[in-house]
C-alpha cells in the first residue's frame, strides 16, 4: 500500500482530537489534588471576628485622690473637731458626710484638713443620701420652718432646707434633716467653701489614701 500524505494528515488530526477530549474529560477533583489538599478551618481562622478590646479604666483625677487622712485616734466624740491645713497646697474642696460614722470631713486637693462629729436628721426627717452642691450661704441664717431657730454659718444643700450649719453638738440631740456641726468648725468651713462645692453624703462608705473622693 502506497503512503498517502492526505491520510497521514487526517490521522494526526484524529489523534489530537482524542487526546484533547481525554484532558477535557478529566474529573475536577484531579485538578484540585494538584494544588494540594484544602484545609477549610485554616482558611477561616483568620476571618473570625476579633474580640472587642476591653475599654481602659478612666484615669483618676489626681485633684480628688485622697492623699492624706488626719491622724485621729479613735472615734470622734460629740462636740469634738479637728483642723490642720498647714502646708496643704491650694486645690478643689470636697466635703463628705458618713451617716453611719456621724462624721463630716473636709478635703482640699485630696488632703483632709478638717473632721468633726455631727448631728443628723432623725425619724420623719432623715438626712438624705446623695451628692449635693452648696446652693447658697448665709452666715446669720434663721429657720423659717422651726420657730426661727438660729442656724449660723448655713450652707444650703436642698430646696427643702437641708443644710450644713453650726449648732451645739451633743449626744442625744438630732436635727430635722440638717447636718449640724460645732459652731467654731462651721465658721471655718463657711469661710473657705464656695457656692457650688459638692457635699457627698454616704452611709458606711470606707475610703483610704489612693481612693478617689468622687
Over residues 23-34, the pLDDT tens digits come to 333 343 333 333
Local structure of residue 1 (DSSP, 8 states):
-
Output the pLDDT for position 103: 97
The H or E element spanning position 121 is none
Give the chain's length.
214
Output the pLDDT for position 66: 96
Local structure of residue 161 (DSSP, 8 states):
-
pTM of the predicted model as reported, rounded to 2 decimal places: 0.72
Output the pLDDT for position 55: 63
Cα of first residue to Cα of last residue in the chain, in angstroms, is 113
Contact, 94 vs 107, CB < 8 A?
yes
Question: For the chain, which ranges sit under pLDDT 50?
Answer: 1, 3, 6-48
Contact, 181 vs 169, CB < 8 A?
yes
Output the pLDDT for position 35: 35
What is the CA 131 to chain-centroid distance, rounded?
14
Q: Which three cell numbers stand for residue 9?
A: 494528515
Amino acid at each position: 500500500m502506497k503512503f498517502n500524505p492526505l491520510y497521514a494528515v487526517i490521522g494526526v488530526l484524529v489523534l489530537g482530537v482524542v487526546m484533547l477530549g481525554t484532558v477535557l474529560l478529566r474529573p475536577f477533583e484531579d485538578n484540585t489534588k494538584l494544588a494540594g489538599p484544602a484545609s477549610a478551618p485554616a482558611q477561616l481562622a483568620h476571618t473570625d471576628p476579633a474580640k472587642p478590646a476591653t475599654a481602659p479604666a478612666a484615669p483618676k483625677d489626681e485633684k480628688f485622690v485622697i492623699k492624706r487622712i488626719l491622724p485621729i485616734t479613735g472615734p470622734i466624740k460629740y462636740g469634738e473637731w479637728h483642723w490642720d491645713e498647714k502646708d496643704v497646697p491650694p486645690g478643689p474642696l470636697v466635703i463628705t458626710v458618713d451617716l453611719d460614722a456621724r462624721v463630716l470631713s473636709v478635703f482640699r486637693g485630696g488632703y483632709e484638713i478638717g473632721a468633726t462629729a455631727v448631728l443628723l436628721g432623725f425619724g420623719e426627717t432623715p438626712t438624705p443620701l446623695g451628692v449635693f452642691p452648696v446652693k447658697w450661704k448665709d452666715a446669720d441664717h434663721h429657720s423659717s420652718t422651726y420657730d426661727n431657730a438660729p442656724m449660723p454659718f448655713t450652707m444650703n444643700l436642698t430646696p427643702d432646707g437641708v443644710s450644713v450649719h453650726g449648732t451645739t453638738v451633743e449626744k442625744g440631740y438630732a436635727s430635722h434633716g440638717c447636718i449640724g456641726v460645732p459652731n467654731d468648725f462651721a465658721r471655718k468651713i463657711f469661710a473657705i467653701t464656695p457656692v457650688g462645692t459638692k457635699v457627698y453624703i454616704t452611709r458606711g462608705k470606707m475610703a483610704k489614701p489612693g481612693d478617689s473622693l468622687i
